[in-house]
Structure 1
Amino acid sequence: MLRWLVCGRLGPVWMWKALLLFVAIAFAGQLLGVIFNKSSVQPAARSIFSSPDAQGPSLGSCQPHSHIMFLKTHKTASSTVLNMLYRFGEERDLRFALPLGYQLGYPLPFNAHRVKGYRGPRAMEFHIMGNHMRFNKPEVEKVMPADTFYFSIIRDPVSLAESSFAYYKEVAPAFRKAKSLGDFADDPKKYYDPRLRNNHYARNLLWFDFGMDHNANYSLALAQHGEALIRRTFKLILLSEHFDQSMILLRHALCWPLDAVVSFSLNARQQKPSGLGGMSGSWVGKAAAAAGVSVRGGHSQAKTPPNLSLTGEQREKLRQWNALDWHLYKAFNQTFWEEIHRFGLAEMQQEVALLRTRRDDLARVCLRDGGKPVEAYRIRDKNIRPFQSGLVKILGYELQPGLDNTTRTACLRMIRPEIQYKDVLDVKQFPRDPSVQAQQGQQSKGRVVAAGGSFLRQDSSRTGERLVGGETGGRTVEEGARDWDGSHLTRTNQTLTRGQEKGRLR
Structure 2
Amino acid sequence: MFNKGFKCTAVVRRLIPWIVLTKVMLVLYCLTATRQVNISPTQEKTCPLSVAKTSPGNITGSPDSKQDCSPKVNIMFMKTHKTASSTILNILYRFGEKHKLRFALPDRRNDFCYPQPFLCSQVKDYRPGECFNIVCNHMRFNYQEVSKLLPPNALYVTILRDPVDLFESAFHYYQKIIPLTWSISGNNKLTEFLNNPEAFYSPEAINSFYLKNLLFFDFGFDNNLKVNDPRVMKEIQYVSKRFHLVLIAEYFEESLILLKDLLCWSMEDILYFKLNVRRTSSVSRLDPETRAKALQWNWADWKLYEHFNATFWERVEAYGRTRMERDVKELKRRNAEMRATCIEGGDAVEAQRIKDTHFKPWQPIGEKSIMGYNLRNDINPERRSICAKMLTPEIQYLSDLGVNLWVTRLWGWLKDYIL
Taking structure 2 as the reference length, the TM-score comes to: 0.78
Partner of 1:423: 399
What amino acid is aligned across from residue 85 of structure 2 in structure 1?
A: S
Aligned to 1:253: 262
Q: Contact conserved, 1:55 with 1:258, CA < 8 A, in 2? A: no
Picking from 145, 150, 153, the partner of 1:147 is 153
Alignment-derived partner of residue 350 in structure 1: 326
Q: Tell me, in whole angstroms, the C-alpha distance in 2 between the residues paired with 1:105 and 1:144.
A: 19
1:190-339 map, 5 Å: 190-270=199-279, 308-339=284-315
Q: CA offset at residue 311 of structure 1?
A: 2.2
Evaluate the alpha carbon distance shift between residue 185 and residue 353 of structure 1 in structure 2; reply closer, same or farther with a 3 A threshold. same
**Are residues 187 and 396 of structure 1, via their aligned partners in 2, closer, same or farther at CA, if it must alter by over 3 Å?**
same
Structure 1 equivalent of residue 170 of structure 2: 164
Aligned equivalent of 1:377, options 352, 355, 362:
352
Q: For 1:150, what is the secondary structure of its paired residue? A: strand
C-alpha distance 141-118 of structure 1, shift in aligned 2 (>3 A): same
In the other structure, the counterpart of 2:127 is 119
- Give the conservation status (yes or no) of the 8 Å contact 1:168–1:175: no
Structure 2 CA distance for partners of 1:68 and 1:368, relative to 1, 3 Å: same
Indicate the residue corresponding to 2:96 in structure 1: 89
Residue deviations 1:59-81, cap 9 Å, x none? 13211110000010000000000
Q: Which has the larger radius of gyration?
A: 1
Q: Which amino acid aligns with 1:336?
A: F
Q: Which amino acid aligns with 1:376?
A: A
SS in 2 for 1:197: coil
Hey, what does 1:501 align to over in structure 2? none
2-structure distance, mates of 1:259, 1:323: 38
Task: State which of 108, 117, 141 in structure 2 corresponds to 1:109.
Answer: 117
| Paired residue type of 1:249 | L
2:167 and 2:397 mapped to 1: Cα distance? 27
Which residue of structure 2 lines up, in the alignment, with residue 3 of structure 1?
A: none
CA distance in 1, matches of 2:375, 2:262: 31
Q: Which amino acid aligns with 2:257?
A: I
1:387 correspondence with 2:387: no
2:383 aligned partner: 407
Answer yes or no: is the 8 Å Cα contact 1:182–1:308 preserved in 2: no
Partner of 2:83: 76
- AA aligned to 2:246 is I
CA contact (8 A) 2:160 2:215 kept: yes
Amino acid at match of 1:357: R
Of the three residues 314, 317, 320, the one matched with 1:341 is: 317
Return the offset for 1:406.
2.4
Q: CA RMSD in A?
A: 2.2
Query: 2:209 is aligned with what amino acid?
Result: H
Q: Which amino acid in structure 1 is aligned with residue 363 of structure 2?
A: Q
Q: Deviations over 1:286-322 (max 9, x none)?
A: xxxxxxxxxxxxxxxxxxx6x8342212211111111
Alpha-carbon separation, structure 1, partners of 2:63 and 2:312: 21
Deviations 1:184-213 (A, max 9, x none): 122211211111111100000000000001
Q: Do the aligned residues in 2 keep the contact of 1:182 with 1:309 (CA within 8 Å)?
A: no
Quick check: 1:64 aligned with 2:53? no
Distance 1:175 1:310 in 2: 19
CA displacement at 1:172 relative to structure 2: 2.1
Whichever residue aligns with residue 380 of structure 1, its letter is K
Kept in 2: contact 1:185–1:315 (CA 8 A): no
Percent identity over the alignment is 40
Is contact 1:218–1:324 with CA below 8 Å preserved after alignment?
A: yes
Q: CA deviation at 1:404?
A: 3.0
Distance 2:211 2:353 in 1: 32
Aligned residue for 2:138, secondary structure, equals: coil
From 115, 131, 134, the counterpart of 2:140? 134
Partner of 1:361: 337
Query: How far apart are residue 367 of structure 1 and its match?
Result: 1.1
Please give the alpha-carbon distance, in whole angstroms, between the structure 2 residues aligned to 1:263 and 1:413: 10
Q: TM-score, normalised by structure 1?
A: 0.65
Measure how far apart 1:177 and its partner are: 3.5
How far is the alpha carbon of 1:214 from its aligned partner? 0.5
Task: Write the distance in 2 (CA, Å) between the matches of 1:208 and 1:367.
Answer: 36
SS of residue paired to 1:170: helix
Q: Give the superposition deviation at 1:57.
A: 5.1
- Unaligned 5+ residue runs, structure 1? 1-53, 273-304, 428-436, 454-506
Q: Which residue identity lines up with residue 141 of structure 2 in the other structure? A: F
| Residue identity matched to 1:152 | T
**SS state at 1:238 partner:** strand
Classify the secondary structure of the residue corresponding to 2:157: strand
How many residues are treated as equivalent by the alignment?
346
CA change 1:73–1:177 in 2 (3 A) is farther
**Could you tell me how far apart the structure 2 residues matched to 1:317 and 1:376 are?**
32
CA positional deviation for 1:105: 1.1
Q: Contact (CA 8 Å) 1:153, 1:240: kept in 2 or not?
A: yes
